A = this chain, B = another copy of it.
Amino acid sequence: MENLKKRSECPISSSLDIWGDKWSLLIVRDLMFAKQCTYGDFLKSDEKIATNILASRLLMLEENGVITKQDHPDSKAKVLYKLTQKGIDLLPLMIEINLWADKYFCLPTERREILEEVKKDKEAFIRAKAVELLEQMGN
């Protein structure tokens, strides 16, 4: 469907070509926090993404190898979305966004608490979280 046309060879630009919009990283965020989500789960998020936008972004992310679809163990009607390795590798980026936001916005308390842990040892946090997500990948 919507194949990637790079605007330039710049890594920033190429990355933005994939997830440089208002919604894609929110999908990735949900998958990092919840590890796996159904279509309906994404719709429940606070930002209230429209169903057509969600569908187009899920397709885009899948086509670019950031997420994968899997059969839901409980029902054929449901679909499970998960991060690929490429998606999991967005974790450091996601952490940095959080840290930046922590410096300049007023965050919900629960988020700040998690970030306190991150600040103690960023590397360790990322490593642990990545392992956690990797374990879920196979299932």
B11 touches A22 (CB 8 A): no
The SS class assigned to the A binding surface is: helix
Binds B, one of A34-42, A71-79, A84-92: A84-92
Copies in the assembly, this chain = 2
A86 touches B104 (CB 8 A): yes
- The number of chain A residues touching the other chain, given as a range, is 35 or more
Q: Is there a chain B Cβ closer than 8 Å to A121's Cβ?
A: no
A25 touches B14 (CB 8 A): no
Binds B, one of A53-61, A94-102, A128-136: A94-102
Q: Is there a chain B Cβ closer than 8 Å to A8's Cβ?
A: yes
B11 touches A111 (CB 8 A): yes
A-B contact pairs, 8 of them (CB 8 A): A8-B46, A8-B47, A11-B102, A12-B26, A12-B97, A13-B26, A14-B105, A86-B103
9 A-B pairs closest in CB distance: A11-B101, A8-B46, A93-B96, A7-B47, A92-B96, A20-B22, A12-B29, A15-B101, A8-B47
